[in-house]
Chains A and B, each alone.
Chain A
């Protein structure tokens, strides 16, 4: 069940990503429509975060290519926003909420230039949207999990991008924050922005998203929620790895086999 779209906002072609030669993502072909609110689901270790990191070129690709807005990522970085897992940074870091949100403006500033008043205004505006403006001068070490996530979302909003990738924005946040965040994401999607979210909780998929991508090393399904979020497909995604595929993956790692035959 893989639905492809014409004029996609994101196109992934034959993407393979390996970790010390063992494929964690295998032969992914995927297109996503503009303005969709996409949930990426799959069991632990299915390669969900890796997919997003590969799209942003944070991890190297072993094969294939990715195009965002019909261009390679390097040319459109300023139109793309990425929200890492909040556990990926050290929240003891000496920074205030505002410091972090203004980082969203760095891409447009360019080398050597300092953020100016307009950038701080943009940051404050983003903070207002996530209801964090009163906390703008607070140190990030004093935030709760939900507040940390709101700060990350505000940083993404400050980027004013067209397509957003979010790695588990609902992990470790309180119910109120979860509701607030999904509200913002829905508004963004209505404004024509594309939002791709790595998600864990299957209960809320149908409420939150209009498009779903099911992943387990390989792409199991991608399509509008009513077509691609079926019991049968879920079983395939969560029913364990394909035994032959993982055996071949292990062999590739053991023999340090190349990912592509280059002769």
Chain B
């Protein structure tokens, strides 16, 4: 708790630098990442992240210092070069994009490693810490770094805000953008520049390997929650910021813990949780919806059975027990009891001494299902030319999904048929009133 307070009071300048730096980096890469994600170029960020390593080493070799400005310029140049090369390789040869990305990524990184080890073996004292680009050095950020980051982050933010509309359009529909006269090439260039910038700054926190996560994962997580670009950007930024500060906090509390991997771990967890619980798209949500549908199908089927039994006996108020229902359709006892309980609770059935009977409401609903079933059978035979003996199974399912609007349309289209393909009477509501 004490740690928590010390950390979040941000009084210690070191904490301020680390937390501030991590958050800024995470936000700016998350924002840019949304666009590369939507353009389905998520892995390009990965390639850039690896490709900056030789640039950093070369900048160091040439300048002889670890001044972040030089290193960033070096990183920027090779990062850019990698994107151009990927583009040239895919356009000028039969090599496909994924191979080009993998090739550039690994070869650039290999060259970077070669240069880095050369520098390390050269015994130059100034080089210590250069390898922190591999895994990031968020925990060692200092005031000077923060200044540079802030400037770049602000540039990135401005870039995204200024070109919001244009980026949105080229990510969504490049051809359309071209057709209405957008300078698509130049806009892509701008977006690429922002991506490289985001990567170049971001790797200082999380390192080359995990940088891809800072671009892709917040966007992927945000995408589960919304279909709106503006909200997606906002959410991605929030997720990024949260993971940035959490990573910084974790490595503050447990200093042996690496900040970068923890930032990635937190953002990945957010993505995985989103993947399960997000409304509409989350897996859990889908499972809940499935089970709701199952329950509804079960209860509607039971009402249908009551109604059909009523039709046979010409008595809709008859009490039925479990075995009578199961004789009509073999539903497993526990499932059936559950369904009966639910229906009684909802007021569609009433129960008396181990048997159940329809209420008026229940009878109406059962009748509707039976009607929909038979209407659909008529529709299938008439419009899909399916043989009468093949329509039952499909109708058994579709009867549960037809909405009142579709019901009206179906009735009108089929002109209120009186019987289904099996000569069963189709019950309409009117008959009940008589």
Contact = CB atoms under 8 A, between A and B. Distances in A.
The reply, when asked whether chain A contacts chain B directly with Cβ atoms under 8 A, is yes
B120 to A, nearest CB: 41
B286 interface: yes
Contacts of A27: 380, 384, 386, 390-391, 394
A14 interface: yes
A219 B384 contact: yes
A6 interface: no
Contact of A263 (B289, B297, B413): B297
Interface string B165-187: 00000000000000000000000
A245 interface: yes
Given A16-B394, A27-B391, A257 B410 contact: no
B403 interface: yes
Contacts of A243: 409
A243 to B, nearest CB: 8
Given A218-B384, A245-B384, A255-B293, A260 B397 contact: yes
Contacts of B402: 248
Contacts of A244: 379, 383, 406, 409-410, 413
B400 A29 contact: no
A27 B384 CA distance: 8
B312 interface: no
Contacts of B383: 218, 242, 244-245
Nearest to B394: A27
A72 interface: no
Interface in B372-425: 379-380, 383-387, 390-391, 393-394, 396-398, 400-403, 406, 409-410, 413
A257 B401 contact: yes
B290 interface: yes
B294 interface: yes
B65 interface: no
User: On chain B, which size bracket covers the interface?
Assistant: 20 to 34
Interface string B292-322: 0110011001000000000000000000000
A243 B400 CA distance: 18
Nearest to B289: A256
Contacts of A13: 390
A256 B285 CA distance: 11
A263 B293 contact: no
Given A27-B380, A27-B384, A248 B401 contact: yes
A124 to B, nearest CB: 28
A1 B384 CA distance: 11
Contact of B385 (A16, A219, A258): A219
User: On chain A, which size bracket covers the interface?
Assistant: 20 to 34
A189 B386 CA distance: 29
Interface in A241-263: 242-245, 247-248, 251-252, 255-261, 263
A13 B393 CA distance: 12
Contact of A261 (B94, B397, B406): B397
A220 interface: yes
Given A251-B403, A257-B401, A218 B385 contact: yes
A258 B293 contact: yes
Given A245-B383, A263-B297, A251 B94 contact: no
A177 B91 CA distance: 31
A242 B402 CA distance: 15
A256 B290 CA distance: 8
Contact of A258 (B286, B391, B397): B397
Nearest to B393: A260
Contacts of B386: 14, 27, 29, 218
Counting chain B CB atoms within 10 Å of each CB, the highest count among A14, A242, A245, A251 belongs to A14
A131 interface: no
Contact of B393 (A63, A242, A251): A63
Contacts of B294: 263
A26 interface: yes
B333 to A, nearest CB: 13
Contacts of B113: none
A21 B350 CA distance: 36
A259 B385 contact: no
A14 B298 CA distance: 23
A34 to B, nearest CB: 22
A143 interface: no
Contact of B406 (A247, A259, A260): A247
A263 B331 contact: yes
A141 interface: yes
B359 to A, nearest CB: 22
Contact of B396 (A26, A29, A92, A261): A261
A246 to B, nearest CB: 11
Interface in B254-297: 286, 289-290, 293-294, 297
Interface of A: 1-2, 13-14, 16, 26-27, 29, 63, 92, 141, 218-220, 242-245, 247-248, 251-252, 255-261, 263
Pairs A-B, 6 closest by C-beta atoms = A218-B384, A261-B397, A92-B94, A261-B396, A27-B386, A14-B390
23 contacts: A14-B393, A26-B394, A27-B390, A29-B387, A63-B393, A92-B94, A218-B384, A218-B385, A219-B384, A242-B384, A244-B379, A244-B406, A248-B401, A248-B402, A255-B289, A256-B289, A257-B293, A258-B397, A260-B393, A260-B397, A261-B393, A261-B400, A263-B298
Given A141-B94, A259-B397, A260-B397, 19 more contacts: A1-B385, A2-B385, A16-B394, A26-B384, A27-B386, A27-B390, A29-B390, A244-B410, A245-B383, A245-B384, A251-B401, A255-B293, A257-B400, A258-B293, A258-B397, A260-B393, A261-B393, A261-B400, A263-B335
